């Protein structure tokens, strides 16, 4: 009897040990990861959903967030500052608050208070692409001053030493940080390159027709211009049209910046419309967002604790260094979430 009991005990212990062995070797990671991340809501509020960058971000974020069991949503303010503010306000006061709010701010100040309120309500706020007067849980996007420097360097290179050394700017506006910092960066480089000068700097208000009209005037007033920097590929088609109409494609080197979408940027470099485009590595930028989201949701820290800048690598691409993978294809990216 005692023998049997001993035997049973031994068997039970063995079984317990056997059962315990895999438990001891189990990776605690997946459990922690899924506890922190599954069911979490991520809300993207760009300036509009209709342009290449926003669609690219959304495609990658959706893919990644649904992969960790989260819920990804977007709001489309369609370039309206008010509609964006309303989307953020609703998100803060809604029953099911987002855990992470990703905001592309239209200017330095409009959303600052709202984003602070979101952080107070326990929502992590990521600021993307456009800087603002606010300490987000991370800024993910371009260093716009550096972007301006790269544009100016590309323009100077495009002009060459034997040129007129006259450069024209087509700015965006006077409120958006991307426009202001780009300008600062360009002036930075200009100061280091005496001889080169900015001969005109009209605003396009990000509108292609306006860009065309001001560029036409600029080319007539300064027929020796050797390069033009237009602050966004969304309206640089206008500057390009003006150069084309003036028959000055061979003389004027057009530099702009964009999200690196194939049809918007690489095709235009390929056909000679743009001389150089400073492009954002969209995929890298989106994965940076994903990483920060995963980090914040597991960190346990209060929203607003830290405020790092996660700059995306920038590069001026010209026809000479255009590679098949220089750009990303919106259609291919969207197909990722199709099934």
Partner 1 sequence: MDIGPLSNLKNLNQERIVLIVAVLIFVTASVALPGFLSAPNLIAIVRSISVLGILALGMSVVIIGRGIDLSMVAIMAMSVAWYLQLLGNGVPDHTALLLVLAGVLAIGLLNGFLVAYADVPAIFVTLASGSFVFGYVRSQLISSDAVPVPEGHWVALLGGLRFASIPVEVYLFALLSGAMFLFLRYTKWGRYVYYAGDNPIAARNIGIPVRPMLVLRYVLAALISFVAGLLTAASLHSINTRVVNSNLLYDIVLVAVIGGIGLSGGKGGVRNVLVGAALIGIMLNAMTIIDIPLLYQNLIKSTILLFAIIVDGVLNPRDEQTAQQGDI
For 1, other C-beta atoms within 10 Å of its C-beta total: 5
How far apart are CB 61 and partner 1 at their closest, in Å? 17
C-alpha distances in Å from residue 231, one per residue of 124, 151, 301: 30, 9, 37
- Compute the distance between CA of residue 276 and CA of residue 264 in angstroms, rounded to an integer: 13
HEC-encoded secondary structure of 124-167? EEEEECCCCCCCCCEEEECCHHHHHHHHHHHHHHHHCCCCCCEE
Q: Give the Cα separation of 66 and 79 in Å (integer).
A: 27
Q: Which is nearer to partner 1, 188 or 203 (CB)?
A: 203
Taking CB under 8 A as the criterion, which residues in 254-273 touch partner 1? 263-264, 271
Does position 57 interact with partner 1 (CB under 8 A)? The reply is no
Which residue's CB is nearer to partner 1, number 171 or number 288? 171
Please report whether residue 206 would count as binding partner 1 according to CB under 8 A: yes
Q: Is 326 in the site for partner 1 (CB under 8 A)?
A: no
Can residue 237 be called a binding residue for partner 1 (CB under 8 A)?
yes
Part in contact with partner 1 (CB under 8 A); list of ranges 17-25, 152-160, 212-220, 282-290: 212-220
To the nearest whole angstrom, how small is the minimum distance from the Cβ of residue 241 to partner 1?
A: 5
Is there binding between residue 136 and partner 1 (CB under 8 A)? no
* Residues in a beta bridge with 47: none
Tell me: does residue 337 bind partner 1 (CB under 8 A): no
Q: Identify which of residues 183 and 253 has a Cβ nearer to partner 1 in the complex.
A: 183
Helices 208-221 and 233-245 pack at an angle, to 10 degrees, of: 40
For residue 50, the minimal CB distance to partner 1 (Å) is: 4
Residue 251 binding partner 1, by CB under 8 A: no
Which residues fall within 8 angstroms of residue 43, CB to CB, at 6 or more apart?
Answer: 73, 74, 75, 91, 98, 100, 101, 102
Shortest separation between residue 200's beta carbon and partner 1, angstroms: 5
* Degrees to nearest 5, angle at CA 320 with 319 and 322: 60
Query: Can you give the binding site for partner 1, defined by CB under 8 A?
Result: 48, 50-52, 55, 78-80, 173-174, 200-203, 205-209, 212-214, 216-218, 220-221, 234-235, 237-238, 240-241, 244-245, 263-264, 271, 330
């Amino acid at each position: 009897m005692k023998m049997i009991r001993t035997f049973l005990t031994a068997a039970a212990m063995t079984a317990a040990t056997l059962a315990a062995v895999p438990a001891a070797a189990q990776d605690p990671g997946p459990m922690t990861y899924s506890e922190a991340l599954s069911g979490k809501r991520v809300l993207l509020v760009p300036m509009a959903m209709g342009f290449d960058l926003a669609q690219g971000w959304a495609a990658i974020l959706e893919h990644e967030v649904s992969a960790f069991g989260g819920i990804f949503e977007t709001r489309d303010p369609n370039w309206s500052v008010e509609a964006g503010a309303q989307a953020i306000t609703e998100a803060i006061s809604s029953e099911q608050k987002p855990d992470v709010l990703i905001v592309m701010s239209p200017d330095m100040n409009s959303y600052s208070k709202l984003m602070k309120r979101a952080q107070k309500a326990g929502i992590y706020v990521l600021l993307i692409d456009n800087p603002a007067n606010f300490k987000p849980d991370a800024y993910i996007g371009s260093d716009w001053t550096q972007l301006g420097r790269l544009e100016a360097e590309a323009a100077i290179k495009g002009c060459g030493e034997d040129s007129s050394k006259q450069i024209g700017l087509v700015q965006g506006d006077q409120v958006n940080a991307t426009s202001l910092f780009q300008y600062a960066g360009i002036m930075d480089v200009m100061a280091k390159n005496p001889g080169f000068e900015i001969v005109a700097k009209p605003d396009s208000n990000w509108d292609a027709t306006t860009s065309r009209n001001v560029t036409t005037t600029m080319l007539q007033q300064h027929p020796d211009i050797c390069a033009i920097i237009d602050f966004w590929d969304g309206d640089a088609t206008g500057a390009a049209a003006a150069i084309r109409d003036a028959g000055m494609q061979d003389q004027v080197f057009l530099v702009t910046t964009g999200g690196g979408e194939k049809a918007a940027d690489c095709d235009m470099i390929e056909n000679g419309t743009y001389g150089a485009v400073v492009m954002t590595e969209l995929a890298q930028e989106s994965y940076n967002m994903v990483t920060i989201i995963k980090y914040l949701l597991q960190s346990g820290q209060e929203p607003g604790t830290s405020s790092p800048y996660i700059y995306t690598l920038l590069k001026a691409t010209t026809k000479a260094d255009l590679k098949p993978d220089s750009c990303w294809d919106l259609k291919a990216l969207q197909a990722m979430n199709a099934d």
